Amino acid sequence: MFELTKDLSEATLDKLASDFDHHSEEYRSNSIDILMHMRGKCPFAHSTQYGGFYVATKAEDCLEVAKNADVFSNWPAEVIPALEPTLMIPINVDPPELYDYRAILNPLFSPNKVKLHAAYVRQVADELMDKIVAKGGGDLKWDFALPLTGIMTLKLAGLPPEDWQHYAPPLHQLIYSRLPMEDRLKDMAVMIDRMRTEIRRLKDDPVPGSVIEYLYNVDMAGRKLRVDEIDSFILIMLGGGLDTTQALFGMASVYLARNPERRQELIDHPELLDNAIEEFLRVFPPTQGNSRRATKEITVAGHVIKPEEQVFMSWAAANRDPDDYENPHEIDFRRENIRHFSFGVGPHRCLGSHLARLEAKTMFQVLLEKAPNYKLVDGGVELGDDIGTIAGFKKIEITV
């Protein structure tokens, strides 16, 4: 699981590569073996799944696709398979219109803006971990990482922070579950209706300093935003805020519990934490990859990509490209000049990367200070049923 195991035969890996399916049980159990096999044998492969798509596993090929927004489009979706075509602003918007949206959104999540929230993030993290310690244990996902990221995301948005419990379950069911899609979308519809109702309620009485207040008042390219545009951005903010950072923290906290000498290394050398987080992002990318649709014929890695064909950029593979990293499967807290693809690349690079780093660092600091000897409960750690979109755990039960 997220390690190179070499447990599968060459023939099995060949079959899994030609039928590459990042939503499959085989990928869930053997993702790194599959990706590294593809990287070594056919680094720009074609899968027969979901109507057919290409898979880029080399860093240079992922870069070429991600940065070429003139040819590769984010519409109708950046995931495979796509859900119903629905405009998700700004994720599914291409340049040049994308740049108008990013011009008004980037300032909301600048490093200086994010720093203003550091004390509050620490306060919430302390309160949540104190409860776990007082009980002698808990679930690092549902009692710590998820409420922290949920409370912070809703507070920033201007929605009631305590409502995170209404938003997290349907979002997680959509991403991690193997339930029929129609069932997942029903619960999402209820959640989205709640969100839209709140956004309209807040139009005349928004939370001061909130993202919703800002979006109702900002001018973009000489006009005000439509309410459906605000709905779309807040939905993306909720999805990203409640999923990716908690997934990263979960994977890394499980790794540290299973490798106590590495945990002790961070306790003894807290100055390594920033670099450790970048290594965790590299080796445990929450977002496994994103897709782009070709709008015109182009050749990438010697393959002719025709209009309407899709390319899946595997961030998980690119982050372990031996051409870019020495000992790519090793987690090296002292690795220099870490470049990774976990926040994406190009014009669609993740808007919330600075906030994600702040939340992750705070959670690790609090965990290692208040529960330095935490242990995983036997049978209490369970990976998501589907890790093809976001790779994370369903539960992480610990004792302290």
Low-confidence ranges of the chain (pLDDT < 70): 1, 84-86
pLDDT recorded at residue 14: 85
Q: How far apart are CA 163 and CA 158, in angstroms?
A: 11
Three-state SS at 228: helix
Q: In degrees to the nearest 10, what's the CA dihedral of 369, 371, 375, 376?
A: -100
Per residue in 386-400, pLDDT (tens digit) is: 999 999 999 999 999
The one-character DSSP state at 302 is T
pLDDT recorded at residue 5: 80
Q: How far apart are CA 146 and CA 319, in angstroms?
A: 25
Per residue in 269-307, pLDDT (tens digit) is: 999 999 999 999 999 999 999 999 999 999 999 999 999
Q: How far apart are CA 131 and CA 129, in angstroms?
A: 5
Q: Which amino acid is at 179?
A: L
Asked if 262 and 255 touch (Cβ cutoff 8 Å), the reply is yes
Q: Which amino acid is at 390?
A: I
Q: How far apart are CA 297 and CA 310, in angstroms?
A: 12
pLDDT recorded at residue 8: 85
Q: Which amino acid is at 151?
A: I
Tokens matching residue 365: 């600091």
Q: How far is CA 39 from CA 56, 62, 119, in A?
A: 8, 12, 43
Q: Give the DSSP letter string of 132-160.
A: HHHHTEEETIIIIIHHHHHHHHHHHHTS-
Q: How far apart are CA 197 and CA 193, in angstroms?
A: 6
Q: What are phi and psi of 345, to 5 degrees?
A: -145, 150
How many beta carbons lie within 10 A of that of residue 139, not counting itself? Answer: 20
How many beta carbons lie within 10 A of that of residue 136, not counting itself? Answer: 9
Q: How far is CA 390 from CA 28, 208, 212, 289, 381, in A?
A: 11, 32, 26, 9, 17
Q: How far apart are CA 38 and CA 190, in angstroms?
A: 40
The one-character DSSP state at 390 is B
Per 3-state DSSP, the chain is made up of helix, strand and coil in percentages (nearest 5) of 55, 15, 35
pLDDT recorded at residue 17: 85
Q: How far apart are CA 149 and CA 4, in angstroms?
A: 30
Q: In degrees to the nearest 10, what's the CA dihedral of 192, 350, 299, 328?
A: -120
pLDDT recorded at residue 84: 62
pLDDT recorded at residue 85: 53
Q: How far apart are CA 85 and CA 174, in angstroms?
A: 16
Q: How far is CA 38 from CA 26, 324, 345, in A?
A: 14, 16, 21
Three-state SS at 208: coil
Q: How far is CA 22 from CA 53, 223, 322, 390, in A?
A: 12, 41, 21, 10
pLDDT recorded at residue 1: 61
Q: How far apart are CA 63 and CA 104, in angstroms?
A: 25
Single pTM value for the model: 0.95
Q: Give the distance from CA 238 to its chain's centroid.
A: 12
Q: How far apart are CA 216 and CA 330, in angstroms?
A: 46
E-only strand ranges, the chain? 44-47, 53-56, 72-73, 137-139, 219-220, 223-224, 289-294, 298-300, 303-305, 310-314, 375-383, 393-399
- Domains, the chain, with CATH or none: 10-399 (1.10.630.10)
Q: What are phi and psi of 268, to 5 degrees?
A: -75, -25
